[in-house]
Amino acid sequence: MAKTHHIHIRLNGVEKEADVAPRLLLIHFIRDVAGQTGTHLGCDTTSCGACTVLLDGRPIKSCTFFAVQADGREIRTVEGLASDGKLHPIQEGFHQEHGLQCGFCTPGMMLSAVALLEKNPNPTEAEIRWGISGNLCRCTGYQNIVKAVQHAAAKMQKGVSA
């Protein structure tokens, strides 16, 4: 019988616990154990950023992070952005500024942008581009993604945040 570890994770504000194999990746815990399928698995090598989640408020690539490493910690995924039925400003920005096409990179891109805006509420265009540089998008050319982050920054500065 394979050895398992009992873990407790706060996922999008909800306590989750499970017995997991030591080698279970966080992306698989989020998607397969917790049933939160908004986080996407792209490259399996941390190159694309589709699997980006926030771990204790910091963006990480969940495709190379073990679930046992997240024991006792807070994870936020795209499902945790909206609050009380209202879109987070970054979600609204992606909608208003047409910041997505196929949508595959969008959850990870949004979480990287949220982490950026929490550290720097008024980033320059260059700072936005650097903040999302760990996330690849094959469809958009990034210009509307930058506009979406700027939209969210302006909205959050006006005190309209999730």
CATH number of the domain encompassing residue 135: 1.10.150.120
Which of 142, 120, 122, 140 minimizes the C-alpha distance to 132? 142
CA distances from residue 145 to 53, 69, 103, 151 in whole angstroms, order as listed = 18, 31, 11, 10
| Residue where one domain finishes, among candidates 77, 107, 134 | 77
Amino acid at 107: P
Q: How many domains does the chain have?
A: 2
What is the C-alpha separation between 14 and 53, in angstroms, rounded?
15
Model's pTM, two decimal places? 0.94
| Residue where one domain finishes, among candidates 77, 111, 137 | 77
Domain hosting residue 38, numbered range = 5-77
Element (H, E) at 26: helix 26-28
Residue 44 pLDDT grade (very low, low, confident, very high; cuts 50, 70, 90) = confident
Q: pLDDT tens digit string along 51-70?
A: 999 999 999 999 999 999 99
Q: pLDDT tens digit string along 65-86?
A: 999 999 999 999 999 999 999 9
Q: pLDDT tens digit string along 101-133?
A: 999 999 999 999 999 999 999 999 999 999 999
